[in-house]
Amino acid sequence: MSNIGIFYGSSSGVTGKVAEKLAELLGEDRCDLYNMEEDFVDFDDMLKYDHLLFGCSTWGSGEVQNDWRDPLLDLDNEKPDFSGKTIALFGAGDYKAHGEQFVSALGVLYDKFKARGATLVGAFPTDGYTYEYSFAVRDEKFVGLPFDKINEAGKTKERLERWVAILKEEFLPAGE
Ligand SMILES: Cc1cc2nc3c(=O)[nH]c(=O)nc-3n(C[C@H](O)[C@H](O)[C@H](O)COP(=O)(O)O)c2cc1C
């Protein structure tokens, strides 16, 4: 039975590709993939899982990808209870054109779901990244996994593998 829900919003497919790769690395038989644009109906879709991966690229200037916007407004209004849920975040950005808000959407999701009682895991070291500012950096680490296909496509595979090793410690159900 699937026990991990992967929900992602991705305008040009970069975060979507990483979502698929994550399912492959964690085991496709236990991951359900939801594209926020087509598959997300309401928070009951998420609350079916105790373990959630949320993917969101950054647009505008530090804003969440379009398909996350309405769900986050609904989150504020409906206030669903995410206590007991473990969430890890990942998302694409562009450090050269948008280094002033690099992958900041991850910080937005972090605050929103933490406020709903979730446990956020999967923080990632900032070393090896270049940026001016990121709302996704807390306690000197990114709150999830950032990647940049536009400028650093060659680094994504290694970053992903490093993050999956962290998830195996912090995220996966005990004993798996
Ligand atoms: C208009 C525009 C605004 C953007 N704003 C940001 C930003 O604030 N921070 C950032 O890190 N990347 C920003 N980006 C870069 C996107 O996040 C990047 O293209 C990413 O690969 C898109 O991923 P997706 O296909 O999963 O949506 C922006 C891109 C565009 C075209």
In a domain, 150, yes or no: yes
Strand partners, 146: 91
Q: Taking the CA atoms of 151, 60, 132 and 87 in sequence, report the sign of the dihedral they define.
A: negative
SS (HEC) of the chain? CCCEEEEEECCCCHHHHHHHHHHHHHCHHHEEEEECCCCCCCHHHHHCCCEEEEEECEECCCEECHHHHHHHHHHHHHCCCCCCCEEEEEEECCCCCCHHHCCCHHHHHHHHHHHCCCEEECCEECCCCCCCCCCCEECCEECCEEECHHHHHHHHHHHHHHHHHHHHHHCCCCCC
Going from the Cα of 2 to the center of ligand 1, the distance in angstroms, rounded, reads: 31
Domain span at residue 163 reads 4-171
Name the residue at shortest CA distance from atom 18 of ligand 1: 93
Q: What is the pLDDT of residue 156?
A: 97
Structural domain includes residue 34: yes
Query: For position 34, which CATH number holds?
Result: 3.40.50.360
Cβ of residue 119 lying under 6 Å from some atom of ligand 1: no
Over residues 17-26, the mean pLDDT reads: 97
Our answer on whether the CB atom of 103 is closer than 6 Å to any ligand 1 atom is yes
Domain-located, residue 65: yes
Task: State the total domains in the chain.
Answer: 1
Name the pTM for this structure.
Answer: 0.97
**Residue 95 is assigned to a structural domain of this protein:** yes
For residue 110, tell me if it sits in a domain. Answer: yes
d(Cα 43, Cα 154) in Å, to the nearest integer? Answer: 35
pLDDT tens track for 55-99: 999 999 999 999 999 999 999 999 999 999 999 999 999 999 999
Structural domain contains residue 176: no
| pLDDT classification of 172: cutoffs 50, 70, 90 | confident
Closest atom, ligand 1, to C-alpha of 102: 11
> Quick one: which atom of ligand 1 is closest to the CA of 150?
21
The CA distance from 123 to 90, in Å, is 10
Residue 89 lies in a domain: yes
